[in-house]
Structure 1
């Protein structure tokens, strides 16, 4: 399979997410587990970043701390001009709803709602209504037009994940966080979902941060951050399937 490439225009770099010396520990005393050990990274607008590493490396913990889904032990996470670590629980919930998007391995769709109702759910909870043109753009690009009135049980796994992606993008989030978004999909459907994320980055300057264990998925990104033992140990720009495979083999060897 050819490695996808992105077309970049010369634009000023704008950091939309910044991690500063993040640490995350669980437990106490001899039983303490240090999931993150002083992780710092920046994420630019219109950039697709994949995060990889062996099991237990801290990659999912890193993503969850960046997204405000987990608290940090020390350090800061800044989205735009807001330090997440200084927000109250209510303020953090509002920021996640209004400014961030999420796609997980499990589709997290409400079974009693149609595909369209699931897509519009975040907007409804925020008391807003997305512009019709953007809704149509997402639905058409993801091939969901004929499925909008179907409930999740009437959709394939790939269709459900496309609904989840549409829901995440409807609010035009500053950052879209994806945690193993193709983990439950066959390779063909996974390719479709990753292709749309790539298009969202290239066409709409969407920022995507994705955890994956799959070198094929990572090859859709602009760069890959490799974690091991709670630290960033390597970074790969313009990744390809073969390059990512090689780096992972080095880390696991």
Structure 2
């Protein structure tokens, strides 16, 4: 069976762009019941950049993240990871790309309860048949403050510790893009701040690209820029965000 052809990237895609959305449309249902979640969204995400995506409920922010991550199919448009158009990949090749090149952190920690913290962290690499570098594993564990919790199972960890285990698991394979969907949604303010601080460190020190959906202006203020969605379209963009600046932008959208 011949491999699925890959379309060339759009002419505007630069070499430092690790993820690109071009004219994304996503609809659900049909006829009178059809809902349009994304309306021709285009955006580029560069290496070593932290982008937050915000918007009112139903604005399409989670749909955009899931389409970028290959977790949801687009109705039309392109999503590129590097120069690979993932909207043209077979289900098998898409699953391999997600496993090998992308990392995921969700609001629910998605840890396996029967495994220790260390086993959960190493799980993705083992599924991919890749042995984690000892030095990189140690760097992640120490940066996330998990060294003395590696032998504990999820039920023996706090929510913040469980999310830090999930972040370590997502980053162990050095993904090109780390997608985070409300990563602090189930955490208290202190634990959430610890997770966000590490994501900021990952961008600044490890050149990690992070794309995060959040409803929290304080969380978005950790990013380099914030994209604001309303009714399935990007309607504003804020660089060097502050909590007050994000609050103001959200008030304008919701007003």
Partner residue of 2:200 out of 198, 209, 214: 198
Instruction: Give the structure 1 partner of residue 86 of structure 2.
Output: 84
Instruction: Give the structure 1 partner of residue 254 of structure 2.
Output: 252
User: Aligned pairs, how many?
Assistant: 242
CA distances 1:40-66 after superposition (whole Å, capped 9, x unpaired): 000000000000000000000000000
Q: Which runs of 5+ in 1 are unaligned?
A: 1-11
Instruction: Give the structure 2 partner of residue 6 of structure 1.
Output: none
> 1:15-94 counterparts in 2 under 5 A?
15-94=17-96
Asked if 2 retains the 8 angstrom alpha-carbon contact of 1:103 and 1:164, the reply is yes
CA distances 1:93-133 after superposition (whole Å, capped 9, x unpaired): 00000000000000000000000000000010011111100
Instruction: Give the structure 1 partner of residue 4 of structure 2.
Output: none
Does 2:132 correspond to 1:130? yes
Mapped partners of 1:163, 1:148: distance in 2: 9
Mapped partners of 2:83, 2:19: distance in 1: 9
- The TM-score, its normalising length taken from structure 2, stands at 0.94
SS at match of 1:55: coil
CA distances 1:125-177 after superposition (whole Å, capped 9, x unpaired): 01111110000000000000000010000101000000000000000000000
Instruction: Give the structure 1 partner of residue 173 of structure 2.
Output: 171
> 1:203-218 counterparts in 2 under 5 A?
203-218=205-220
Instruction: Give the structure 2 partner of residue 180 of structure 1.
Output: 182
CA distances 1:66-110 after superposition (whole Å, capped 9, x unpaired): 000000000000001110001000000000000000000000000
Instruction: Give the structure 1 partner of residue 119 of structure 2.
Output: 117
Q: Which runs of 5+ in 2 are unaligned?
A: 1-13
Root-mean-square deviation (Å)? 0.8
Instruction: Give the structure 2 partner of residue 9 of structure 1.
Output: none
Instruction: Give the structure 2 partner of residue 8 of structure 1.
Output: none
Mapped partners of 1:47, 1:116: distance in 2: 28
- The TM-score, its normalising length taken from structure 1, stands at 0.95
SS at match of 2:71: coil
Change in Cα spacing, 1:13 to 1:95, as seen in structure 2 (3 Å) is closer
Q: Which 4+ stretches in 1 moved above 3 angstroms?
A: none
Mapped partners of 1:218, 1:170: distance in 2: 24
